[in-house]
Structure 1
Amino acid sequence: MVVKQEYFDRIAEAMPEIGRDPASVRQRIEAMELLLEGSFTMPIINRRFGLDFILGLVPVLGDLVAASMGAWLVWEARNLGMPKWKLARMFGNIGFDFVIGLVPLLGNVADFIFRSNTRNLRIIRKHLDKHHPSTVTVEGERLR
């Protein structure tokens, strides 16, 4: 079965545009970090946690899924043109979180304390603030 190029062109035109500009990338990575690290609040101690902690409760597979979601942040950072040493540092954060997460109880505590995605977001924000100052945000609002 041969599919014509026009078919793919029509599908591409019907899809919403995903912004590739730094401001759009910043919004996506901040949303992903919030999902992974701060979507929920622990009632008694009033500490925020996210999907990374919840996935860490599932042995090995959960940590693998959380690490792959965190790797997406690094992929977005690569698309921004960040230096390789910063990307390696970000992969180091994810790798450390993954390896510690493999230890049954210690991994869950580490996911609650060591927030690799928040650390990676901080690295990306510094890069964006320096190289793309128009994307700087103050309390979630973009400066104009």
Structure 2
Amino acid sequence: MLDAMPGLGRDPQSIRQRIEMMEHLLENALVFPGTRLRFGLDSLIGLVPVVGDLVTAAMGAWIVWEARNLGMSRWQITRMAANVGFDTAIGAIPLVGDAFDFAFKSNSRNLRIIRRHLDRHHPGTTTIEQ
């Protein structure tokens, strides 16, 4: 049943679609009016002290969990978890962390790691960037 709906299966293509959608929501879904500066829910939710950082950390951890389901190496998973942990730790610092969230996009970094893995091990999942 889940395999019949696009993006909900357990195949590498569906996992890629889910991860790309989550990364877009967390890092690039919104634009500052009058600029080309993009931000996402990670920066917005992170403005809420403690709870916001925990929520965005959980969303970033979900991306790492999905990467684990792709059979990525322990080194890649550790590196991705470190990205999320670093983002969460620095993001928890008042004011400094909020500015940091706009600059350090851990989920985009993790998506690049996942894309390299998928392009190498599952070339059928490759999409053309627009």
TM-score (norm. length: structure 2) = 0.93
Name the residue aligned to 1:66.
56
Name the residue aligned to 1:30.
20
* Higher alpha-carbon Rg: 1
Name the residue aligned to 2:98.
108
Paired letter, 2:121: H
Counterpart CA distance in 2 for 1:50 and 1:117 is 11
TM-score (norm. length: structure 1) = 0.84
1:55-76 CA-to-partner distances (Å, cap 9, x unmatched) read: 1100111000000000000000
Alignment counterpart, residue 38 of structure 2, candidates 19, 30, 48: 48
Counterpart CA distance in 2 for 1:110 and 1:44 is 21
1:77-132 CA-to-partner distances (Å, cap 9, x unmatched) read: 00000001110000000000000011111101110000000000000000000000
Name the residue aligned to 1:84.
74
Name the residue aligned to 1:126.
116
Counterpart CA distance in 1 for 2:53 and 2:36 is 24
- Cα distance, 1:44 vs structure 2: 3.9
Where do 5+ consecutive residues of structure 2 fail to align?
none
2:95 is paired with a residue of what secondary structure?
Answer: helix
- Cα distance, 1:45 vs structure 2: 3.5
Paired letter, 1:120: N
Where do 5+ consecutive residues of structure 1 fail to align?
1-12
Name segments (4+ residues, structure 1) moved above 6 Å: none
Counterpart CA distance in 1 for 2:75 and 2:121 is 16
Counterpart CA distance in 2 for 1:84 and 1:61 is 29
Identity of aligned residues (%): 61
Q: Superposition RMSD on alpha carbons, in Å?
A: 1.7
- Cα distance, 1:139 vs structure 2: 2.0
- Cα distance, 1:43 vs structure 2: 1.5
Paired letter, 2:65: W
Q: State the number of aligned residues.
A: 128
